[in-house]
Amino acid sequence: MKLRDFLKGETVPAPVFVAPSFSLSMVGALLASQDVSSAIVMKDGKVGGAVYGYQVIRFLVDASYGSMDRRLHDELPMDSDMIPLAGVPLVSEMDEFETTLGKIAQKRFGDVILISIDDDPVGVLALPLVVRLLSRKGKCKMKLKEVSSPLKLVTGDESILEALNFMMANRFRRVVFKRGSAFYSCTEREFLRAIFSFRGWTSEDERRPGKPPRPDRQILHDG
């Protein structure tokens, strides 16, 4: 099946573009505001690579790159071991869908960049959209337990720094914890959105010593 046919009737999120001179705070704000997990790096008018959300988080928590303030505002070290730009998977809508999945499997990362016949980036295809489309366009006789992975929970009492390091060490894109008998998860994308949002670094006033948490937060804490 052609990728074009697989995606027929669906809207693929538009790509977010960044320049190699962008800082972590700029890239993070773009990823958060557009709610995507990768941004395309343009060099000399062409696709030079991509910055993925996990790379942004890895840089964010790596104190070896200097103070947090410096990490936020200096240029991201693109095209380095931290953020290698080479090998970004590009697919055309005229490619076979199996080719797309093959590139995702080979790259071991769930985002591919869609390009037009003129090689211009036109969208980012991520696995959650593929799951939704497979429910209408896919067939498989396997059982859920045949594809599942061991569940590793966090308690929820870890610091954000510990949780992000846990994700990086295990190549997880989410943390899962229990509240009562229910399971909850927070993905890398949600962490990015939270950190680089108005209620992230700009909401310190809510956490001033002596100021009680908002009532809704107290209720959730107790749950």
What's the CA gap between 85 and 77, in Å, rounded? 10
Nearer to another protein (CB atom), residue 64 or residue 135: 135
**Residue 64 binds another protein, judged by CB under 8 A:** no
Nearer to another protein (CB atom), residue 118 or residue 144: 144
Asked whether 28 and 83 are in contact (CB, 8 A), the reply is no
- Judged by CB under 8 A, the chain residues 23 through 42 that form the site for another protein are 25
**Residue 99 binds another protein, judged by CB under 8 A:** no
Candidates 106, 100, 108; CA nearest to 133 is: 100
Nearer to another protein (CB atom), residue 21 or residue 202: 202
Among 45, 157, 209, 212, binds another protein (CB under 8 A): 157
Among 135, 208, 211, 212, binds another protein (CB under 8 A): 135
CB of 119 to another protein, least distance (A): 26
Asked whether 184 and 178 are in contact (CB, 8 A), the reply is yes
Nearer to another protein (CB atom), residue 43 or residue 179: 179
Q: Which stretch binds another protein (CB under 8 A): 8-16, 61-69, 78-86, 87-95?
A: 61-69
The crossing angle, in degrees rounded to 10, of helices 188-195 and 53-61 is 60
**Residue 128 binds another protein, judged by CB under 8 A:** yes
Q: Which stretch binds another protein (CB under 8 A): 48-56, 79-87, 114-122, 161-169?
A: 161-169
Among 69, 117, 208, 215, binds another protein (CB under 8 A): 69
**Residue 168 binds another protein, judged by CB under 8 A:** no
Burial per residue of 71-81, b for 16 or more beta-carbon CB atoms within 10 angstroms, e otherwise: bbeeebebeee
- Judged by CB under 8 A, the chain residues 73 through 92 that form the site for another protein are none
What's the CA gap between 185 and 166, in Å, rounded? 14
What's the CA gap between 220 and 217, in Å, rounded? 5
What's the CA gap between 202 and 194, in Å, rounded? 11
Three-class SS of residue 121? strand
